[in-house]
Amino acid sequence: MKPIIGIMPLYDRKKESIWMLPGYVELIETNGGIPMILPLTDNFETLDYFLETCQGFLFTGGQDISPELYGTEKLVVCGETHQVRDTMEIYCMEKALEEDTPILGICRGAQLLNVVTGGTLYQDLPTERPTEINHQMKPPYDKGQHEVQLVEGTMLADILDQSTLSVNSYHHQGIKDVGEKLTVTAISEDGLVEGIYLDENQFVLGVQWHPEFFASDTRENQRLLQMFLAHCY
């Protein structure tokens, strides 16, 4: 039986609709899992069904996380937030961590993992942490924008079996103070944390870049997703 992986939905405020990038689904399906897109809801009873049904969860990119959740006043430079999505994803992530259900967080998903474990975020990198690297690249997004250094002996370096990785970059927020018990596994050329994992669980990993914009069968995506899915049985 293939593992069922719950994928957190994306939300379009202008259209008042949920949607999904095909790349997230393809990452799961191409590499041996069954993707299941969750509804956007803060009804915990509904979410409990998916927490009982899914063997792993993919936390996607999207809106900024409400700064109140990491004890900071919201700045003008903070982008759009979504209370229902924050409530839903924090509930699902906390429950998944408690049950040791595998988690892969991408962009917002990595930032959420950091917040849930007690870390903080830069609300806007250009104003709070200016750098020569442009972390909001223009499309197409299936190309490298900068390199990250993979920390030797950590989960991601072991999975990919390499020391550096060329990544795309489409985010204006980033990890500031690293959450409790998290280990940094990737650092960008300007020193920004771009990869984290929780060693005490079987598979809890967050990356700041967007694997879903690259082909799902690239060497890096295959290694990452197959290791994730291998822990979901």
Q: Strand 174-175 vs strand 164-167: parallel, antiparallel, or unpaired?
A: unpaired
Q: Helix, strand or coil for residue 78?
A: coil
Residue whose entry in the numeric block shows the structure tokens 């944390």: 193
Query: Is 231 an annotated catalytic residue?
Result: no
| Annotated catalytic residue within 92, 171, 212, 231 | 212
Query: Is 78 an annotated catalytic residue?
Result: no
| Annotated catalytic residue within 135, 146, 210, 231 | 210
CB proximity list for 181: less than 8 A, separation 6 or greater: 117, 198, 199, 200
| Annotated catalytic residue within 78, 107, 135, 146 | 107
Secondary element (H or E) of residue 122: strand 121-122
Query: Is 172 an annotated catalytic residue?
Result: no
Handedness of CA 156, 158, 160, 163 (dihedral sign): positive
| Active site members | 107, 210, 212
